[in-house]
Chain A
Amino acid sequence: MLSVSIQKQLKNYSLEIHFNVNEEIIALFGPSGAGKTTILNCIAGLAHPDQGLIQLENRTFYETKKKPVPIQKRNIGYLFQDYALFPHMTVQKNISYGMKDAHLTEQLIDTVAIRHLLDRYPNQISGGEKQRVALVRALATKPDALLLDEPFSALDQDTRVECQNELLRLHELWKIPMILVTHDLKEANKLADRILKIDKGKSL
């Protein structure tokens, strides 16, 4: 279980949020600037709250007044909105960068059908393909939880539905806590077991 209970002063409001995620998909739903990405960044370790507690299973990532666990040691997968693929590496190199289990990665590559892309560079593949590559890259590190920041927002309708179905399928196989940030209620309803509505840093 991932449990998050944090407080952080942002520019215009104070972010205050408490929630637990079991082996399920939770959607953080709210308008732009509601603090959704900040929550993900705090969980991943890219940002730190002012106070609170972040725990995954029996590991404590952040606790008030203690030194936070660095990003590298958290083992949390993060799918960025713009995918953040390494532009100077082929798809193959991107995927194997943090890979922990080669056999599993091979399976993932076939599951999302990107084997034909392995030798291409990120600028040579489409948005939907980038999304799949980023997903495989994140899962290849065998993360204990997965964060997804509006992963489908840049895709056209058909590709979006396809990728959403793929995520559901992978979650069936993986059963880890997943947190999905979205401002699309339909998407939240379709993918999430629970929806956490957020506005101005507070859950509604």
Chain B
Amino acid sequence: MNFTPFFLSLKIAGSATVIVLILGTILARVIARNRFPGKRIIESILLLPIVLPPTVVGFGLLYLFGKNGPIGSFLLQWIDYQIVFTWTGAVIAAIVVSFPLMYQSASAAFQTYDRNVENAAYTMGASKLKVFWTISFPLAWPGLLAGLILTFSRALGEFGATLMVAGYIPNQTETIPLAIYFAVESGNTETAIFWVVSMVIIGFSAMLWLNWWSGRNILRFTSEN
């Protein structure tokens, strides 16, 4: 049994999740809280990957990052690096596809508490950074964590866009979803079943934990003891 797909999937989904957590939290904090012209258009663009077929996202990324694409040719020319057909490509696909989940969770999370709590901290002389780390972030954390789990699960299961951008290169871009598809394709049912069961167990655990966690957090600030 070759376990490379497992470690590769963890590496790709893990990297994507870290980047999405940072990007999603910052953008949600900046965009969701403020009013400015074009806000709805920007938010729609950010959320677009939720409604688009992954192949469309993959095609778009392939265009952007391909050898002749605007970003791809730039990277190739300046740092001699090609993103398509590498695990970095798979990370980018996972980022784009899972970002909307984090963004939605984070924008909701930053609206779950009274804004005056932050204002009170400002009047006490706290800097913006201090208020973010000591007030906004801890209060939004339950929602951010929920977004984090959804992001990781989505990134782990990403198939369509990954296949288009990173292709199927055994031991290099062969994530679990790709391994399942190509195992079935080549009649290797046992391997396919092994990975399918693994994915179900991971996904179920994530969901179970998420449900338990959100239930616990509803109680957190309301319980009398």
| Chain A residues within 8 Å of B, Cβ to Cβ | 44-46, 71-78, 80, 82, 84-88, 97-98, 121, 123-124, 137-138, 141
Contact = CB atoms under 8 A, between A and B. Distances in A.
B139 A71 contact: no
B123 A87 contact: no
Nearest to A97: B124
A98 B131 CA distance: 11
18 contacts: A44-B119, A71-B119, A72-B126, A76-B123, A78-B119, A80-B116, A80-B120, A82-B116, A84-B116, A85-B117, A86-B117, A86-B121, A87-B117, A97-B126, A97-B134, A98-B126, A123-B223, A137-B120
Interface string B204-223: 00000000000000000111
A71 to B, nearest CB: 4
Contact of B122 (A72, A123, A124, A138): A72
Contact of A124 (B114, B138, B224): B224
A123 B126 contact: no
B125 A141 contact: yes
B19 interface: no
The 10 closest A-B pairs by CB, nearest first: A98-B124, A84-B116, A84-B120, A71-B122, A78-B123, A87-B221, A80-B116, A84-B117, A141-B124, A72-B125
Nearest to B141: A88
A contact patch SS: loop
Contacts of A141: 123-125
B135 A86 contact: yes
Contact of A123 (B116, B117, B124, B221): B221
Nearest to A120: B225
Given A123-B221, A123-B222, A84 B114 contact: yes
Nearest to A141: B124
Contact of B127 (A72, A82, A123): A72
A84 B121 CA distance: 9
Find the residue from B117, B139, B222, B223 having the highest chain A CB count within 10 A: B117
Given A46-B119, A82-B116, A88 B124 contact: no
A123 B113 CA distance: 14
Given A123-B223, A123-B224, A141-B124, 17 more contacts: A46-B123, A71-B123, A72-B127, A74-B123, A76-B123, A77-B123, A78-B120, A80-B116, A86-B117, A86-B120, A87-B139, A88-B221, A97-B121, A98-B121, A98-B125, A121-B221, A137-B120
